[in-house]
Every structure is written in C-alpha cells, then in structure tokens.
Amino acid sequence: MQVFHQIKSVREALQQAKNEGKKVGFVPTMGNLHNAHLALVKTAQNYADIVVCSIFVNRLQFGLNEDWDKYPRTLENDIQKLKSVGCHILFCPEEQEIYPNGMDAQTRVIVPSMADVLCGASRPGHFEGVTTVVSKLFHIVQPNIAVFGLKDFQQLAIIRRMTEDLCIPVEVIAGDIVREDDGLAMSSRNTFITAKERPKANQLHLSLKWVCEQINQGEKDFQLLENEAKAQISAAGFRPDYFNVCNSKTLAPAANDDKYITVLGAMYTQGARLIDNISLEL
Ligand code: PAF
C-alpha cells in the first residue's frame, strides 16, 4: 500500500492509474479503523480497480465542546488493517494540507434543511464540516465511486444530496451497517462506552427494531412510537437525544403514505453519543 501525505503526490499516483483506464474507489474515514471500515474498503473493491482510503480527523466537523482532541488516533494500526484487506492507497494529510488558509477562511459547502435536523440539531455546524471536507477530498481524489457507511444515515443522505446538487461526478455507494453480536452498531466511539454500560448499550438498536416491527404491523402513529422508544432508552439508563421516523430521502418527518422510511435514533452513554438507524420499505 502506498501512503501519501501531500495532495500533489496522491494526485500524481492516481493520475497514472487513471491514464491506465483504472476505476478509482474511495473510502473517506477519520481513522481508528474497525471491521465496519474494512467492510467499506471491501465494498469499494467490488466497484473499482484501485481503492483509496483517507484518514483525516476533520476538526471542522467537531463542535467546540466535542471530542476532537480525544478522538482516537491509531495510524500505525490502521495502516496494518488497510494492508490486510488489500487497500492500494492511503491518503493521510496534515491539517495544514487540507486547510492552508485556516479553517475560519475556508470556503464552505452547506446542504440546507437536511443538515439542521436530527444529529445536525444536536451538533450545529457538524454537517457543514463534513460536506466541506468531503467535497475537498472528492476534488483531490476524483474517484469514480465513494463508499459511506449506512450507520451514518444522515451523513450519507446529505452527501448524496451534495453530489447531486453540485453535479459532482462521483457515484455514492452505501456500505451496510456492521454490528456486534448483540446488535450494537460498530463505531469508533464504542471505545468510550464503559464496561458497566456495555451490556445495555444495544438498547438503541432494540428500540429501533421494536419501532420497525410496530410500523410493519400497521401502526401509523409515529409520534407515539418515537415517545415510547425514548422511554425504553431512558429505562435502560441512557439519555435519548432524538428518535425520529423520517422520509428516507429528505429526512423530513415521515408521512403516513411514505414508501421509504428510515427510523433514526441517537442516545448518550456516560462517555459516548451513539447513533443507529433502520430503513423500511412499506
Ligand atoms: O464518517 C466519517 O468518518 C467522517 O464524517 C468523514 C466522512 C470521513 C468526513 O470527515
């Protein structure tokens, strides 16, 4: 695997592959890689000849009181894991390389309405940071396809909208959620769950499944289901952030006749904020 820190050098390496007619797949990450990230690399391999992974802990998408400084940085381990699944190129730039004019002066990409709800309501500015860095990474790598995990459903939907609205010639592909045996969705932030909390940390997933079962059985009072799910999460000892039944494409509250519905939730443990979702076709 080739490792690049500079935009110029990764571009040169990729230009050569593109001249040879190779299709480029891209998996952007913030590192601290686990099996779910490696599954995204494997998905990209199904669509492309060359797979590029990026590792960049993007300060622009973290709020002032969030965990940018304690976000786990495990580059050496990450490199070994990427090599083990046959990733071809790793791009891991320094902050100065991505934001040479400073973050305050950085041109921003904003996807209105979808970015202010759900996770965006609890994390103001988060998705602006995501779409800004992803559009920069798309311009640097210029991949044919890019894979994003379905666990971050809102992120995926917003990136899809951004590529559509800005006519970016990248096909955005969804990578399945990878779960622990008890259903907890794999996430870099799971390392912050305490040993005491861990046995019940799958409650978010259990409540999502319960709500989906109720909808499949014909329940149409989504508000009632959302409130009940939040009560289940509180009863398990966690603080619910949001729990919403949404239209899968727009993320607006689901209407009774919507065909594609996604149920999304977020909850706080003592040390982590966990998110998860399940999509339904009615
Ligand atoms: O999902 C992530 O890890 C990040 O939000 C991403 C897409 C790499 C942008 O920094």
pLDDT, tens digit, for every residue of 239-251?
999 999 999 999 9
Q: Check pLDDT > 90 for residue 55.
A: yes
Taking the CB of residue 81, how many other CB atoms lie within 10 A of it? 18
Radius of gyration of the chain (CA): 19
Tell me which residue of 215, 276, 218 sits closest to 243, measured CA to CA: 276
d(CA 33, CA 46): 20
Q: Check pLDDT > 90 for residue 67.
A: no
Domains assigned to the chain? 2-175 (3.40.50.620), 188-276 (3.30.1300.10)
Residue closest by Cα to atom 3 of ligand 1: 29
| pLDDT, averaged across the chain | 97
- Average pLDDT value for residue range 192-206: 97
- Average pLDDT value for residue range 157-168: 97
Give the start-end residues of each E strand in the chain: 2-4, 24-29, 50-55, 89-91, 145-149, 171-175, 239-247, 260-268, 273-281
Q: Express each pLDDT in 69-114 by its tens digit.
A: 989 999 999 999 999 999 999 999 999 999 999 999 999 999 998 9
Q: How far is the CA of 220 from the centre of ligand 1 (A)?
A: 34
Residue 30 CB–ligand 1 contact under 6 Å: yes
Q: Check pLDDT > 90 for residue 66.
A: no
Residue 36 CB–ligand 1 contact under 6 Å: no
Q: What is the pLDDT of residue 65?
A: 83
Strand pairing partners for 172?
146
User: 253: burial class by Cβ within 10 Å (0-12, 13-18, 19+)?
Assistant: middle
